[in-house]
Structure 1
Amino acid sequence: MTHPHGTPNAGQVTLSLVVPVFNEEDSLDGFLLRIQQVFEREALIDLELVFVNDGSTDATLERLLQRQQSDSRLRIVDLSRNFGKEAALSAGLHTASGQIVVPIDVDLQDPPEVILQMIERWREGFEVVLGHRISRRSDTWAKQTSAHWFYRLHNRIAEQPLPEDVGDFRLMDRCVVDALLTLPESRRFMKGLFAWVGFRTTHVEYERPERVTGKSKFNGWRLWNFALEGITSFSTEPLRVWTYLGALVSLVSFAFAMFIVVRTLIYGIDLPGYASLMVAVTFLGGLQLIGIGVLGEYLGRTYIEAKRRPVFLVRRIYDPKD
């Protein structure tokens, strides 16, 4: 099987690992050692390591610069401030020069050994090879449950479904990366963008281990906002729901009004009103506020996109070839 451009996926290949880092000084040495162990005997793979320093406030940048002196494969993209992982990942994709590109976290929960399996599938002709987690035992119960329901909700309302239990860890051919770089969004939900561009896709399965060092930067609040970002980026169904909900509430209100009229005409009894009125007012007021909030999410996205600000700003790129 051949590459989409007509050249065989055999022989020498340049692999770029895109590694966003934020305050990961304690994780770098273990990660680089593991990478060295995995790829030191792979003569057909020319490795490039693109680290994106996302505004770290610890010694992450200094550690990377020290390692770069002894390892010319390291390229370091130093962003001007903390822009978030999605922006850092975008910066890494812009910088990576490899024929194939793999985003990977420095915490080693995505085992580098799996990349070799991904490359084998790429050599078969696939342009995207997903890393599919066969178990989320390393995650808390709350994170497992929330992730399950997020995927179910998102895939039910979005036109382009997300593959479940798949993160950013995947192999992408250069043609896929080039397609991603043409997308103009300022607010970027990368999992959705990865799925949206398509291309010929397969997956490899792996068991996700515990994080080796450090701790996750994603707390419950950030995960909640991340989920909202994903849903509002790829579906307008939340807006449409309020049209149907408004029609349903109006229908129920009309039916209740007719009931009061008929009751009064037949029995001559007024329905006691204060408690029922307060319930109705507060209920409808709550619905209106929620609807305004949903509308505000989309309006806010439109407002940010209309400014056309760049996704990230680079302070400096440290390239050992310069």
Structure 2
Amino acid sequence: MIDQALTAILQEAKKAKGNLISIILPVFNEAKNLPIVVDELCEHLVHFPKYKFEITFVDDRSVDESFEVLNNLSKRQLLNVRISVVRLAKNSGSHIAITAGLNIARGDFAIIMASDGQDPASVVTQLIEEWEKGCELILASRSDNLDHSALGNFLSAMAWRLMRWSTKIKMPEKGCDLLGMDKKVLRAFNKMDERNTTFIFRILSLGFKQKEIQYVKRARISGKSNWSFLKKIAIILDAVTGYSSRPLQLITKLGLFIFLILLLRWTYVVFTIYVLDRKPTELTIILNTIFTSLAVQILLLGVIGDYIWRILDEARKRPSYEISDVTGEIFSD
């Protein structure tokens, strides 16, 4: 019976229309987790015989045996699944590794997931099913993270809320590491050539229609997370400075607010001198002068920063728009 079932699946795979799905997994020191991740992933992918799958592992210059393990795994020939390995010349971080994987992805649908076993392969099934319904960008939002303490989950949620507020980009409240995108989104992403930004914000900033699903991020199979506190802070700073002028606007508003307060203070000083005929203390004059100078500097800093932001925004040459769909007819020549 098993042989007959496998034969039927193989025959169905041969009839496939050639639809290709790319799955990208960044890797850094995950040698013990990789075989388990591949086995679980393939168990789910075999249920989609009408698709071909290219699983691309991008090794971010691991210092353990990850690359050797991946080379052995890439020799597998599993029905409609092929495994390839890309090794970066230097350690550049997971977001750069993911970008490299997306740049070489050829699929009609591309999926990004972790290689540490925290992302269940069953969620990949959900991503594909949502894509088949016509969704362009599917975000798997973490309803819980079993690898974090309650405090860790709270701080993570606060960080994502800060990024949501500062960037004004629509995104899951508790963050997103696992997602799937249609080839339209993939092509638009690959047009963007930026270094100091995170891949997730580059994708979300394109504005394609989003669909959000929930999943529980599991505890790591083995080892510990490579995301240090400083790396997390760097991601937040990249997001805020790369996709938002709000900090600059806040500086400008702060300078303006202080300036208006001091304007009232100076009005009061003039009033006391010429109306009440009282001379203010030297300390009052000195403090008012210092704070007025400070307010003007903050205000000018905000204005100059806003000009620099506009120059940066133009230099990036981000697309002003992306076309999602076209309907109707046009006249032929």
**Structures share fold, TM-score greater than 0.5:** yes
SS at structure 1 position matched to 2:75: helix
SS at structure 1 position matched to 2:217: coil
Deviation at 1:213, TM superposition (A): 1.5
For residue 8 of structure 2, what is the aligned residue in structure 1? none
| Pairs within 5 Å for 1:157-172 | 157-172=166-181
Q: Structure 2: which 5+ runs fail to align? A: 1-15, 318-333
For residue 39 of structure 2, what is the aligned residue in structure 1? 33
Mapped pair 1:233 → 2:239? no
For residue 270 of structure 1, what is the aligned residue in structure 2? 281
Q: Which AA in structure 1 matches 2:263? A: F
| Pairs within 5 Å for 1:97-108 | 97-108=106-117
Q: 1:187–1:301: 8 Å Cα contact kept in structure 2?
A: no
Q: Structure 1 residues 120, 82: closer, same or farther in 2, change over 3 A?
A: same
For residue 59 of structure 1, what is the aligned residue in structure 2? 65
SS at structure 2 position matched to 1:18: strand
Pair member with larger Rg: 2
SS at structure 1 position matched to 2:172: coil
For residue 56 of structure 2, what is the aligned residue in structure 1? 50
Q: Structure 1 residues 301, 38: closer, same or farther in 2, change over 3 A?
A: same
Q: Which AA in structure 1 matches 2:281? A: D
Instruction: Give CA deviations for 1:223-246 in whole Å, capped at 9, x if unaligned.
Output: 111111111221112112211111
| Pairs within 5 Å for 1:8-157 | 13-71=19-77, 73-157=82-166
Q: 1:50–1:95: 8 Å Cα contact kept in structure 2?
A: no
For residue 183 of structure 2, what is the aligned residue in structure 1? 174
Worse-superposed segment, 41-50 or 84-93: 41-50
Q: Structure 1 residues 26, 275: closer, same or farther in 2, change over 3 A?
A: farther
Q: Structure 1 residues 96, 192: closer, same or farther in 2, change over 3 A?
A: same
Q: State the alpha-carbon separation in 1 of the partners of residues 229 and 290 from structure 2.
A: 32
Deviation at 1:100, TM superposition (A): 1.4
Deviation at 1:275, TM superposition (A): 10
Q: State the alpha-carbon separation in 1 of the partners of residues 289 and 280 from structure 2.
A: 20
Q: 1:154–1:161: 8 Å Cα contact kept in structure 2?
A: no
For residue 12 of structure 2, what is the aligned residue in structure 1? none
Deviation at 1:180, TM superposition (A): 0.9
SS at structure 2 position matched to 1:24: coil
Q: Which AA in structure 2 matches 1:178? A: R
Deviation at 1:269, TM superposition (A): 5.6
Q: Which AA in structure 2 matches 1:36? A: C
Q: Which AA in structure 2 matches 1:16? A: S
Deviation at 1:92, TM superposition (A): 0.3
For residue 220 of structure 2, what is the aligned residue in structure 1? 211
Q: 1:162–1:191: 8 Å Cα contact kept in structure 2?
A: no
CA RMSD of aligned residues (A): 3.6
Mapped pair 1:201 → 2:229? no
SS at structure 2 position matched to 1:207: strand
SS at structure 1 position matched to 2:74: helix
Deviation at 1:40, TM superposition (A): 3.6
Q: How many residues align?
A: 297
Q: State the alpha-carbon separation in 1 of the partners of residues 161 and 46 from structure 2.
A: 41
Deviation at 1:250, TM superposition (A): 1.7
Q: State the alpha-carbon separation in 2 of the partners of residues 39 and 25 from structure 1.
A: 22
Deviation at 1:68, TM superposition (A): 2.0
Instruction: Give CA deviations for 1:115-171 in whole Å, capped at 9, x if unaligned.
Output: 112211211122222212222454234443333333333333434322323413111
Q: State the alpha-carbon separation in 1 of the partners of residues 59 and 245 from structure 2.
A: 34
Q: 1:19–1:51: 8 Å Cα contact kept in structure 2?
A: yes
Worse-superposed segment, 222-231 or 273-282: 273-282
Q: State the alpha-carbon separation in 2 of the partners of residues 108 and 283 from structure 1.
A: 52
Worse-superposed segment, 145-154 or 46-55: 145-154
Q: Which AA in structure 2 matches 1:176? A: V
**What is the TM-score when the length of structure 2 is the normalising length?**
0.75
For residue 323 of structure 2, what is the aligned residue in structure 1? none
Higher relative contact order (CA 8 A, sep 6+): 1
Instruction: Give CA deviations for 1:69-105 in whole Å, capped at 9, x if unaligned.
Output: 3347221111110111111111101122222111110
SS at structure 1 position matched to 2:57: strand
